[in-house]
Amino acid sequence: MKMSYFPGCTLKNKAKDLDEYARKSAEVLGITLEEIENWQCCGGVFTTSKDEIATKLSSVRALMDAKSKEQPLVSVCSACHNVIKQTNHAMRNDSEFADKVNRYMSENEPYNGETEVLHYLEMLRDKVGFDSLKEKVVNPLKGKKIGAYYGCLLLRPNSVMAMDDPENPTIMEELIKAIGATPVVYGMRNECCGGYVSVESPELAKKKSDAVVANAKAQGADMIITACPLCRYNLIKNGADIPVVYFTELLAQALGVKEAENE
Amino acid sequence: MQRIGVFVCWCGSNIAGTVDVKAVAEALKSEPGVVYSTDYQYMCSQAGQDLIVQAVKDNNLTGLVICSCSPRMHEATFRKTAATAGLNPYMVEIANIREQCSWVHKEMPIGTEKAIILGKAAVAKVNLNTPLTPGESPVTKRALVIGGGIAGIQTALDIADAGFPVDIVETKPTIGGKMAQLDKTFPTLDCAACILTPKMVDVAQHEKIRIFSYSEVAEVKGFVGNFDVTIKKKARFVDETKCTGCGDCVDKCPMKKNPNEFNMGMDNRPAIYIPFAQAVPKVATIDAGACTMLKKGKCGLCSKVCGAGAIDYTQKDEFISEKYGAIVVATGFNVISMDKFDEYAYNQSKDVITSLEFERLTNAAGPTAGKLLRPSDGKHPHKIVFVQCVGSRCENCAEKGKEYCSKICCMYTAKHAMLTRDKYPDTDVTVFYIDVRTPGKNFDEFYRRAVEEFGVKYVKGMVGKIVPEGEVLKVQASDLINNKQMHIDADLVVLAAAIEPDKSARPLATMLTASMDTNDFFTEAHPKLRPVESPTAGVFLSGACQGPKDIPETVSQAGAAASKVIGLLCKDKLLGNPCIAGSNELMCNGCSSCERVCPYGAITYLDKEFRMPDRTTKIRRVASVNPAVCQGCGACTVACPSGAMDLRGFANDQIMAEVDAICK
C-alpha cells in the first residue's frame, strides 16, 4: 500500500529519528510512505484568524498533491498533523475559506477537503491494525513500563482531530501493548508540555513539563514516548530524568529495523 | 334553521385593546342564522354568563358563538352556561380572538378585521352543529403504581388508605429505591432508613396493597378507567410464598464475588442475595448470571440449606394480567455515568467516587460499616474535595452531561461536607461550586451552618482536572473570586454527578402514550396548574420521573398524585368525549386505511348484511369505531378515501364551512 507522506521541517533536522524509523517501520508493515515533492513548512500553528490563508496554503498544496494520487496523507509530527487536519477540516466545512483558498490557488479543479488525513498512529490502528502489527514484532519490548505522552495537539480540538477520547486516550497504550511493553496510564498524559511558552516564559514551561514527568514517574513509568518534537524538546530540556523517545523509535526496535548500536 | 347568538368578550383590555369589539358584534349580526349579537366586558364572569342565559331565553337561541379567549381556557365554562340555559353543551363554538388575534396584533384595524373573520367561521360552524351526548365508561377501582421508591410508596399508601386496592410494580428485588441507600437526609439529618423502612413495612402489611417486586410492566392497553396491564414477574428462582428471609442460603452460596448493586458495587454479594436487611419483601433472589447451578447445573447448595424448601431452579418468568382505573408513574432517577468525564479520573482512581457512593461509605450498613475509609487502601482520608455540578448545567455539551440543574446536589453536598467535619474534625473539606442553590425550607440555614459552624471551605469555581499521583489525587481548580489557579492534593474526591430519569422511563412512556421532554423526564399536563397529571388521561406522575426532586418535594407530589387518583377512582362512571369518529357504513368500502392509522386501536371491522336496490342482500366488510377507545384525534377521517369516516363535532362539512367563511 502506498501513502503520501508529509514529514515536516523538524523531522529533517532535530527529529531525524522520528522520520527515519517511521518510514522503516512502515515498510515492514507493508506501507510505503511516499514523501510529497516540494513540501513546505506547515506553519507550525493553525491560526484561528478567519481571514488568514497564507500560513495554511502549504497544507492545502500537500493535501491537493495527495488527492491527485488518490492516497491518504500521513504525517507523524503532532504539530504538522494538527495544522494539516485542521486545514483540511476548514476546506471541507468552511465554504468561505475554501472559496478564498481555491481562488488563490487557481487550479483547474477546486479542492474541498477530499483527502483522508491520517496521523501515523491512526495509520497503525486503522490501516495496519494493532493485531497484525503484533504479529510482525520480532523483538518484543518485555518488561518496559512506558508512559505514553500525548500532549495537546494530537487530540485537540476533538471535534476536528477525532482521533481518540481527548480525556482518556488509548491509541498509544494499544501500541505499547502491541510491541510487548506495559503501558502506564497517568493523568497528565494529555496535558500541555509548555509548548512555545518555553521561549517567552521558560519557568512556566518548566513547571508544566515537570508536572508531566513527575506524574508519569509516580505512576511507575520508566520511559516516556511521544509523537511531538516540541514535547520531547521541552521534557528533555527541563530535566526529565527518564528517557523521552519518539514512539517510532521503539516501534522500529520491536520490528527489528533499528540498528543495534542505537540501543 | 339555527337561531344563533353572538357574544363578544372584551376581556378587559386584553381583547378590547386591539379589537373594536362593538364593530365585531355589529358585523356578525348580519351573518346567516344570527339573531342576536352583543358585547360585554368579562363574558366568563357570573354577570356575563347570566347575560348569555337571559339572551338564550329572550331570543329562543339554539346555538352560541362566544368570541373570547382560547377554548382551552373557557370552552368548558361556556358549555356549562349553555347547559344552564337549556341548550346542548355542544351547540357552543368559541372564536379565539385573544391568543390568536388581539395578543398577536398591534393595530386595531387589523385585529378587528381578523376577529370578524374568526367570528364568521365560528358562526358558519354552529349552523351545522348538532347536539352531542357523551358516552359513559365504567371505572376499574384499582390503581397501578410503577416504581417502588419513596414516590411510589407514598402514592400507594395514600391511595390504599382511601380504600382502593393498589399494586406496586418494582424492577428491583425490593422496594425502597434510592432513599433506602441514603445515610442521612437533609436538612434535618434524620436517618433515611429510620423514616423509610417503617413506610416499607406499612406497604407490606397493608391489606389493600400488593407488591410485585422483581417485576416489570410488559404491556399497557386501554384507556382512563379501563387499563389492561400485563406485568412480567421475572423468575427469581425462589418461591416468595415459602421463603422466610432467614439468609441461610446467602451465607452458604459459594459464588460470593458479584458486585453489590445496593452498595454501588463497592463490595460483593453472593449469587443468591437479599439486597439489605430491611428489604421488602424480605425474600432471596438468585442472580441468574452468577449462579453456577443455573448456568452449569452444578452446586445446588442453597437448595440444600433452605429449610423452607423455597429454592426453585425451574422457575420461569410469569405474566400477570390485571385491570386498573389509573396508573401512576414513579420510575425515579439514576446517577449519570462518569465515563465521559475522564478529566475527573473516575475510571482511573478508586478514590474518585460519586456522591451516592459516598452515601454508602458513610452508611452504617455500607461496605465500611459507616467508617469513612478510602476505597483504594482503606485509610482514613484527611483531605476531601467535593465537586458540584458534574454533568449538570452542562451547556452545549449534551453528548457529555445534562443542560439542567439536578437540584439536589447543593444540599446533599453540604450535608456530606458537614457530616464529615462533624465526625472527623481532623479532615479538611473543600467544596467547588458554580452556584450554591438552596431554596427550600431551612435549606440555606443548613448550608450556612456547614460553612460557619463546621468550617467547610466553599470555593466558587470548577475543577478542571484530577490527576492520580501515587497515593494522592492532584486537583487543579480555579478560584473565581480570588482569580487564581488552585492546586490541592486530596485523599478523596467526591463528584456530585447529575441525575437522569431511569432508563425504563422511555419504553414505558411509549406503552402509556405519555409524553416526555428532551431529557426523558415525563411531561406534566400543565407545568403550573396540573403538575402531577400526564397529558394522557388516567396517567399520573410521582417523584423524580417528572423532574429532579428532593425527598420532601417527592413526597408532596406523591400525595398530590394519589389524591388525583382517588378523585378518579371515586367515580363510578366516566363521561367520555362525544367528539369521536363514526363511520358511514353505506359509504365505507372496508379498505382498512383507517385501522392502519388509528393510534388507539379503536377501529375494528364487521361483516354486515346490506339490502341492495334489487332486493338482494349482500354481506360487506365495514369499519366500526369503539366509542370508549376513540380519542377523537381525527387521523382516520383524513385517511378515509371514500369520506365515510367523520368526526362528530368536527365534521368534514363543518370544517369546510369554516374555511369557506374565512375565504369568503
Contact at CB, B468 and A187, closer than 8 angstroms: yes
Q: How far apart are CA A183 and CA A148, in angstroms?
A: 7
Which residues are within 8 A (CB) of B584 and not within 5 positions of it... i.e. 6 or more apart?
Answer: B643, B644, B645, B646
Write phi, then psi, for A260 (nearest 5 degrees).
-60, -35
Q: Does A218 touch chain B (CB under 8 A)?
A: yes
Q: Does any domain span residue B283?
A: yes
**Percent above pLDDT 70 for chain A:** 98
Q: How far is B108 from chain A (nearest CA, A)?
A: 46
Q: How far apart are CA B91 and CA B78, in angstroms?
A: 10
> Looking at residue B599, what is its pLDDT?
79
Whether B297 and B221 share a structural domain: yes
CATH label of the domain that carries residue B456: 3.50.50.60
Q: Does B400 touch chain A (CB under 8 A)?
A: no
B647-B649-B654-B656 Cα dihedral, nearest 10 degrees: -50
Whether B297 and B405 share a structural domain: no
pLDDT band with cut points at 50, 70 and 90 for residue A135: very high
pLDDT band with cut points at 50, 70 and 90 for residue A261: very low
pLDDT band with cut points at 50, 70 and 90 for residue A262: very low
Whether B495 and B450 share a structural domain: yes
Could you tell me which of B11, B241, B172, B196 has the C-alpha nearest to residue B103?
Answer: B11
Which residues are within 8 A (CB) of B73 and not within 5 positions of it... i.e. 6 or more apart?
Answer: none
Looking at residue B521, the DSSP 8-state letter turns out to be P
Whether B100 and B116 share a structural domain: yes
Q: How far apart are CA A38 and CA A61, in angstroms?
A: 10
Mean pLDDT of all residues belonging to chain A? 93
Domains in chain A: ranges and CATH:
2-120 (1.20.1050.140), 138-262 (3.40.50.1860)
pLDDT in tens, B218-251: 999 888 999 999 999 999 999 999 999 999 999 9
Contact at CB, B342 and A219, closer than 8 angstroms: no
CATH label of the domain that carries residue B604: 3.30.70.3270
Interface test with A, best of B341, B342, B349, B473 (most A CBs within 10 A): B342
CATH label of the domain that carries residue B48: 3.40.50
* Chain-centroid distance, C-alpha B524: 6
Whether B344 and B458 share a structural domain: yes
pLDDT for B626 beyond 50 = yes
Residue of B nearest to A215 (CA): B469
Interhelix angle A171-178/A247-255, nearest 10 degrees = 30
Q: Does B265 touch chain A (CB under 8 A)?
A: no
Q: How far apart are CA B191 and CA B127, in angstroms?
A: 67
Sequence-ordered strand ranges (E) for B124-174: 136-138, 143-146, 166-169
- Chain A and chain B share a number of CB contacts under 8 A equal to 30
Residue B43 belongs to what domain range?
4-126
Q: Does any domain span residue B132?
A: no
What is the total count of domains within chain B? Answer: 4
Region for B484 from its dihedrals, namely left if φ exceeds 0, alpha if ψ lies in -120 to 50, beta otherwise: beta
Whether B165 and B210 share a structural domain: yes
pLDDT band with cut points at 50, 70 and 90 for residue A263: very low
Contact at CB, A187 and B470, closer than 8 angstroms: no
> Looking at residue B429, what is its pLDDT?
98
pLDDT in tens, B195-215: 999 999 999 999 999 999 999
Contact at CB, A218 and B469, closer than 8 angstroms: yes
Taking CA atoms, B213 is separated from B26, B259, B328, B346, B490, in Å, by 67, 20, 16, 32, 41
Whether B106 and B173 share a structural domain: no
Whether B92 and B227 share a structural domain: no
More confident residue, A207 or B664: A207
Whether B472 and B596 share a structural domain: no
Q: Does any domain span residue B251?
A: yes
Whether B318 and B346 share a structural domain: no
Whether B157 and B274 share a structural domain: yes
pLDDT band with cut points at 50, 70 and 90 for residue B556: very high
Q: Does any domain span residue B526?
A: no
Whether B148 and B289 share a structural domain: yes
**A170 contacts in chain B (CB < 8 Å):** none
Q: How far apart are CA B563 and CA B101, in angstroms?
A: 38
Q: What are B39's three cell numbers? A: 358585547
CB B238 within 8 A of CB B312: yes
Last residue of a domain, one of B455, B483, B500: B500
> Looking at residue B629, what is its pLDDT?
77
Write phi, then psi, for B44 (nearest 5 degrees).
-80, -15
Q: Does any domain span residue B270?
A: yes
Q: Does any domain span residue B458?
A: yes
Q: How far apart are CA A58 and CA A40, in angstroms?
A: 6
Average pLDDT score over residue span B389-399: 85
Q: Does A112 touch chain B (CB under 8 A)?
A: no
Q: Tell me, what's the ipTM?
A: 0.83
pLDDT in tens, B5-49: 999 999 999 999 999 999 999 999 999 999 999 999 999 999 999
Q: Does any domain span residue B114?
A: yes
Q: Does B341 touch chain A (CB under 8 A)?
A: yes
pLDDT in tens, B311-357: 999 999 999 999 999 999 999 999 999 998 999 999 999 999 999 99
CB A139 within 8 A of CB A253: yes
Give the closest of B347, B467, B470 to A188, CB-based. Answer: B467
Q: Does any domain span residue B659?
A: no
